[in-house]
Amino acid sequence: MKILGIETSCDETSAAIVENGTTILSNVIASSAEMHAKTGGVIPEEAARQQIKSIMPVINECLERAFPGSSLKEKFENIDAIAVTVGPGLIGSLLVGVETAKTLSHVWKKPLIPVNHLVAHLYANWFDKIPEFPALGLVVSGGHTDLVYIKGHGDLTYVGGTRDDAAGEAFDKTARILGLPYPGGPNLSRAAGKYLSGGHKELIFFPRPLSNESGYEWSFSGLKTAVAREVEKLKAEGKLSEREVSHIAAEVQEAIVDSVVSKCVKAILEFGPKSFLLAGGVAANTKLRDKFTRELISNGAHASFHVPEAKLCTDNASYIASCAYFIGKDIPTSEINADPELTITS
Ligand code: KG4
Ligand code: ZN
């Protein structure tokens, strides 16, 4: 079964064709990140305008890559269903994808499957070694940090999450304070990679809130205040060098990675799942991936560790199509609406 997936929840416009939920036939991603880099963040109105321009070229390119040389009619004859992200996300952006998908579904008489973007992130793990259930899954993205227990496809229970900022948001906001370009996460991580302590013990340590509390909650909003204070202090002392920026970046990354991994390892030891699935844009972070690999082994966790290849962690339509294959319900298009407030368990 071949599903055409469409994703436009934030600033990416993506279309992918996935066979049986596990094989990517084509995956095209157009990002307006360069445009947003000029303003230091996503301007929703601008993102949606760009997506209106990109959506049909992206879908056409995706169909051409999967079925080169055939007519549009032949291409759509190969597609069994269309899947689209309905939320959460920016309303203008979501509407571009949802309305395009509804139109294509109507014109080509294909079932339309609404997909929850957060649940779908987890399905980027189905393109490699298939995870076994029960699983614990962590979605760490720009707007969410959600830990869920997954008994089977479509059977998710919320375990924990952030009380305030998401992990990706913490990367983005602290990167901005440090004067690093948008998108913050990968740029902060790059700056952190340049930091060499030179063997001295230097005194910057950012807090890991709630680390001693029971339960599975995080809090990342204090990090931006702590970073702003450190930056002010260094500025006042005339010491805000490139080296100090990379030093702070390294400590921020360490604080986020530490908090995320330690709580998840605790949950894995308590719940004893067969698999642990990491997903979402922040899962592209090398330090986070490496620390999970090491800590799961050193804590004797029996769960197999799954993380998508880095380019499938950030927003793209491949996992939208995969999720639709495993848990999608074909419902009347008139009942499908964009819902910016959708949660991982709604
Ligand atoms: O999943 P995603 O592409 O979009 C949302 O659904 O939010 O995640 C984007 C988030 C941003 O906060 C971005 O800074 C972060 O993922 N991110 C990273 C890295 N790559 C993307 N954070 C840390 N290190 C990275 N390498
Ligand atoms: Zn996402």
Distance CA 272, CA 268 (A): 5
Q: Which residues of 17-53 are buried (b: 16+ CB within 10 A; e: fewer)?
A: bbbebeebbbbbbbbbbebbeeeeebbeebbbbbbbe
Residues 46-87: tens digit of each pLDDT: 999 999 999 999 999 999 999 999 999 999 999 999 999 999
| Ligand 1 and 141: CB distance under 6 A | yes
Burial class (CB in 10 A: 0-12, 13-18, 19+), 318: buried
Total residues found in the chain within this entry: 346
The per-residue pLDDT for 307 is 98
- What's residue 201's pLDDT? 61
Ligand 2 midpoint to CA 208 (Å): 24
Pocket test for ligand 1, best of 282, 290, 291, 313 (most atoms within 8 A of CB): 282
Q: Give the span between the Cα atoms of 40 and 19, in whole angstroms.
A: 37
- Does the pLDDT at position 200 exceed 70? no
Q: Is 314 in the pocket of ligand 1 (CB under 6 A)?
A: yes
Centroid of ligand 2 to alpha carbon of 145 (angstroms) = 11
> So what's the pLDDT on residue 31?
86
pLDDT greater than 90 at residue 38 = no
Q: Over range 93-119, report the average pLDDT.
A: 98
Check pocket membership of 184 for ligand 1, CB cut-off 6 A.
yes
Residue 235 has pLDDT above 90, yes or no: yes
- The pLDDT tens digits of the residues spanning 277-300 come to 999 999 999 999 999 999 999 999
Strands 81-87 and 2-7: parallel
Average pLDDT for residues 11-21, to the nearest whole number?
A: 97
Query: What pLDDT, on the 0 to 100 scale, is given for residue 231?
Result: 97
Is the per-residue pLDDT at 163 higher than 70?
Answer: yes
Q: At what angle do helices 184-193 and 242-271 cross, to 10 degrees?
A: 110
3-state secondary structure the chain: CEEEEEECCCCEEEEEEEECCCEEEEEEEEECHHHHHHHCCCCHHHHHHHHHHHHHHHHHHHHHHHCCCCCHHHHHHCCCEEEEEEECCCHHHHHHHHHHHHHHHHHHCCCEEEEEHHHHHHHHHHHCCCCCCCEEEEEECCCCEEEEEEEECCEEEEEEEECCCCHHHHHHHHHHHCCCCCCHHHHHHHHHHCCCCCCCCCCCCCCCCCCCCCCCEECCHHHHHHHHHHHHHHHHCCCCCHHHHHHHHHHHHHHHHHHHHHHHHHHHHHHCCCEEEEECHHHHCHHHHHHHHHHHHHCCCCCEEECCCHHHHCCCCHHHHHHHHHHCCCCCHHHCCCCCCCCCCC
Closest residue (by CA) to atom 21 of ligand 1? 281
Query: Does the C-beta of 143 come closer than 6 Å to ligand 1?
Result: yes
Query: Which atom of ligand 1 is closest in space to residue 286's alpha carbon?
Result: 26
Amino acid at 204: I
Integer-rounded Cα radius of gyration of the chain: 21
pLDDT for 107-155, tens place per residue?
999 999 999 999 999 999 999 999 999 999 999 999 999 999 999 999 9
Q: In this predicted structure, what is the pLDDT of residue 99? A: 98
- Residue 119 CA to ligand 2 centre (angstroms): 10
Ligand 1 binding pocket includes 140 (Cβ within 6 Å): no
Atom of ligand 1 nearest to the CA of 168: 12
Closest Cα partner for 267 from 143, 165, 149?
Answer: 149
Ligand 1 close to Cβ of residue 92 (< 6 A): no
In the predicted structure, residue 37 carries a pLDDT above the cut 80: no
Identify the residue whose tokens are 């740029």: 187
With cut-offs at 50, 70 and 90, classify the pLDDT of residue 42.
confident
Identify the weakest region by mean pLDDT among 166-170, 188-192, 211-215, 271-275.
Answer: 211-215
Q: Which pLDDT score, from 0 to 100, does residue 35 have?
A: 75
**Tell me: the pLDDT tens digits for 246-257?**
999 999 999 999
pLDDT at 80: 98
How far is Cα 211 from Cα 153, in angstroms, rounded to an integer? 31
For 177-184, what is the mean pLDDT?
A: 94
Considering only CA atoms, which residue is closest to atom 2 of ligand 1? 281
Q: Taking residues 244-269, what's their average pLDDT? A: 97
Encoded tokens for 113: 């499957």
Nearest to 231 by CA among 170, 175, 178, 182: 178
